[in-house]
Chains A and B, each alone.
Chain A
Amino acid sequence: MRRTLKALISLYPKTWRNRYKNEFEALLDDVSPTWRTLFDVFGGALKMQMKIWSPWKIVAACAAAGLLAAIAFSLLTPDRYVSHAVLKIENGGADEVNAGAEKILSRHSLVQLINKEDLYKSERTRMPIEDLVEEMKNHDIIIRPGAPGEFVVSFAAPDAARAQRTTQWLAAAFVDANVGTLLDPANLPISPNGPRRSRIIVLGMVAGILAGVLFALFNGLKVWKLAAGLGIAGAVLCAAISYGVPDSYMSTAVVRYDGGDAARMQQLIHAVTNDASLYAMVVDFGLYLNDPRAQSKLREHIRIQTSQNAKVVMIQFEYADRYTAQKVTQQIVQRLIDESLKTDSGMKLEMLQAAGLPLTPYFPYRPKIAGYGLFVGLACAVLLGVRRHYKTPLPVVAAR
């Protein structure tokens, strides 16, 4: 450890080492090397470096440290794949599902499942099985209501196949217990649901920049007071602007189709979103009053996404009034169902998720906008600081 301790001297600035290296080495020979001493010498080197660094260098170093820490954290956090199965409630309602879930999620049956699917391999070496069962029940298995008369069983695992197999096992257990019948079998998740690495990395970098600015600020460097001011001003300004932007709510419905192909579904969507149909909706719901572009605006705010493999269609509509957003979404779904019944194509549409009443605005997401403002303010200050740094003439050293 003494060698490591001495090696840390190289982390001190060169000018400092030229003056103090020999005597500092002599002191390190005298002290007993401990972890505390090691951290103290490392901290001393860091402080001494910070003393000679320019503010923008401190911010850059902190940003890099934040970035590296965030990358390491995001890489160490395992992927999380979520598989879903949809079941129709066989008898009774939610109480029946809850009673069934209680039996299926018993300690005995979950321990069996853990062993069968070899779940939580690394966790099993350091955690008691009771804790794992609780973790599984509370975090990884999700049983939630779906469309009317249906419920969804999900399981999250670090690999997709295991997530699917476990969800299949859980769904089969509900079927065996006569709680539900399988409508949609457990899917094989293609991409992980988390962690959101790009978000973690950006957050890490922003946190690093903020820490750097604060550090520089507390070091009494005036230019970084400007940075804090600009950052706060950016956040406040953007938040204020975002309050001037009207709220917009999005309602979402999901339907599944059977007995037809994707091309047929596209025909139905086209029939529902043609000019005549949109005009009727504008008139019926009084959308975009007095706006000559009402029809094209309605088209812009309707989003219909189809998934060919799962034969699922997601219908979304965004509007300034939450109730209208829900009603229009319901109307689009109803028209799709009506269109499918009109023609004798054998296509059957089934509601998986009814159009919900959106409670919070979809846009603008104000904390995010304020965060962007803060970031832009800080970035401006950093640029300003760099510009000042290079424009400031070097002080003239008076001859002694």
Chain B
Amino acid sequence: MTRNNDPALLVLASLADGDKHGYAMMEDIERFSGAKLGPGTLYGAITRLEENGWIAPVPPEDRRQPYTLTALGRKSLESELAAILNVAKTALKRLKHA
């Protein structure tokens, strides 16, 4: 299971609502998670995700390269989020009963 601050998961989550280039991903991730990803970390995650076939480049409009979530990536993100949600639900339930 990946951690919820794992750069790869954050990138997948960022691409879940549409295609984005690197800088847009960095800003979006900071907005929704508070995590400031550096360019080296971001491109480390992008490389890994592209190798796994979870994201793919889309034709660029300028020098910036946008990426999109593939069907495989969407499926992986869904299963990861389901696992995180399951943990969160269980923990919350236990906190209520404690």
A: which residues have CB within 8 A of B? 16, 20, 22-31, 36-37, 39-45, 47-48
Contact = CB atoms under 8 A, between A and B. Distances in A.
B43 A27 contact: yes
B40 A41 contact: yes
B23 A44 contact: no
B26 interface: yes
A22 B26 CA distance: 18
A44 B41 contact: yes
Contacts of B60: 23
A43 B43 CA distance: 11
B39 A44 contact: yes
Given A24-B22, A41-B39, 17 more contacts: A20-B46, A23-B21, A23-B60, A24-B43, A25-B63, A27-B39, A30-B22, A30-B23, A31-B23, A40-B38, A40-B40, A43-B40, A43-B41, A44-B40, A44-B41, A47-B40, A48-B47
Most chain B CB inside 10 Å of its own CB: which residue of A26, A27, A42, A45? A27
Interface of B: 21-23, 26, 38-44, 46-47, 60, 62-65
Nearest to B48: A51
Contacts of A44: 38-41, 43-44
Contacts of B39: 24, 27-28, 31, 37, 40-41, 44
A25 B38 CA distance: 13
Contact of A42 (B21, B40, B44, B63): B40
A20 B43 contact: yes
B63 A23 contact: yes
B contacts with A: majority SS: helix
B40 A22 contact: no
Nearest to B50: A19
A23 B62 CA distance: 9
Contacts of A20: 43, 46-47
A22 B63 contact: yes
Nearest to B27: A30
Nearest to A31: B39
Contacts of A16: 47
B64 A23 contact: yes
A220 B1 CA distance: 17
Most chain B CB inside 10 Å of its own CB: which residue of A23, A29, A31? A23
Contacts of A26: 21-22, 62-65
B5 to A, nearest CB: 15
Given A16-B47, A48-B47, A23 B65 contact: yes
Contacts of A48: 44, 47
Contacts of A31: 23, 26, 39
Contacts of A45: 40
Most chain B CB inside 10 Å of its own CB: which residue of A16, A20, A39? A20
B47 A23 contact: no
Contacts of B63: 22-23, 25-26, 29
B23 A27 contact: yes
A40 B21 CA distance: 19
A37 B41 CA distance: 10
